[in-house]
Amino acid sequence: MRLFVFGLGYVGAAFAESLAARGWAISATGRTPQARAAVEALGFSAVDPDDKAAMVEAMSGVNAVLVTSPPTGEGCPALEAVIPALAAAEAFPDWIGYLSTTGVYGDFDGGWVFESSPLKAQSVEGARRVGAERDWRQVCRGMGLTIATFRLPGIYGPGRSAFDRLRAGEGRRIVKPGQVFSRIHRDDIVSGLLASLERPRAGAVYNLCDDEPAPPQDVMEHAARLLGVPVPPDLPFNALGLSPATRRFYAENKRVSNALAKAELDWRPKYPTYREGLAAILAG
């Protein structure tokens, strides 16, 4: 069995490693020599996505494709590289997974969003994801390929959590009354992808997130108490000094439902709240 990953980042590498442990052969993209060396250091085959012949070879006989890279103003670079290579290789993978974002929903004033909720992206990045989701579904429908889209909220896990910000002296408790965010542990994304790989449905869209949307300041406070360090002081949202990017991030307030993934994929997050996830990270 063969997996191809376009964008071997934090989640892509974890998913690839989980399938490699099951005996799958893995190939993944790297645009620079340094990036390809990093792919090969993990024991995977590295492919330059700009090398059309190499892409065709990588797609030959591929069983699954995961796309993690974000779209640009010109569209999705993975779509432009992967689809022609699949066609040239006459390859028909059983499953294509596309990682998107819950940013496609925009702001819901703290209300719940589901896969059927209207897409009201407020950010440029969210709007690009809406377009990329649409393009992937249309192309795959036309080619008879099975694609599943996964809308992800804030991702945390080993090496990328509130602990790391606290240890770096960058922990902040920005308080905006009524604000909540959904989140998900990296390993729960991997288990959701594996569940979809085992139960592929063409055109499927899933929210993968934990069970408890929570105020971000609560997460930071809990992490500080677990580490035994002082809890960072409250920083009101209207305080001076917040970057435009931070203000845009806090402009979207919603609770994301994972009910469909649970019902259709029989998936359950191992870390249903940030409490279990942070405890597992700290335990190593």
**CA 122 to CA 212: how far, in whole Å?**
23
Q: In the listed set 207, 223, 242, which residue is the last one of a domain according to the structure?
A: 207
Task: Verify that 110 and 245 share a domain, yes or no.
Answer: no
pLDDT tens-digit map of 257-277:
999 999 999 999 999 999 999
Task: Verify that 82 and 26 share a domain, yes or no.
Answer: yes
Task: Verify that 87 and 177 share a domain, yes or no.
Answer: no
The number of folded domains in the chain is: 2
Task: Verify that 38 and 99 share a domain, yes or no.
Answer: yes
Task: Verify that 258 and 236 share a domain, yes or no.
Answer: yes
pLDDT tens-digit map of 116-127:
999 999 999 999
Task: Verify that 6 and 115 share a domain, yes or no.
Answer: yes
Task: Verify that 222 and 188 share a domain, yes or no.
Answer: no
Residue 121: enclosing H or E segment and its boundaries?
none
Q: Which of 284, 17, 266, 265 is nearest to 157 (CA)?
A: 284
CATH of the domain at 57: 3.40.50.720
Task: Verify that 124 and 170 share a domain, yes or no.
Answer: no
**CA 94 to CA 8: how far, in whole Å?**
20
pLDDT tens-digit map of 138-166:
999 999 999 999 999 999 999 999 999 99
Task: Verify that 188 and 250 share a domain, yes or no.
Answer: no
CATH of the domain at 175: 3.90.25
Q: Say if CB 279 and CB 161 are below 8 A apart.
A: no
pLDDT tens-digit map of 189-208:
999 999 999 999 999 999 99
pTM, rounded to two decimals: 0.96
Rounded percentage of the chain residues whose pLDDT exceeds 70: 100
Is it the case that residue 241 has pLDDT exceeding 80? no
Task: Verify that 41 and 170 share a domain, yes or no.
Answer: no
Average pLDDT, the chain: 96
**CA 171 to CA 150: how far, in whole Å?**
29
Structural domain range at position 125: 2-155+183-207
Going from the C-alpha of 53 to that of each of 25, 141, 163, 266, the distances in angstroms are 19, 25, 43, 39
pLDDT tens-digit map of 2-36:
999 999 999 999 999 999 999 999 999 999 999 99
Task: Verify that 27 and 145 share a domain, yes or no.
Answer: yes
Task: Verify that 116 and 240 share a domain, yes or no.
Answer: no
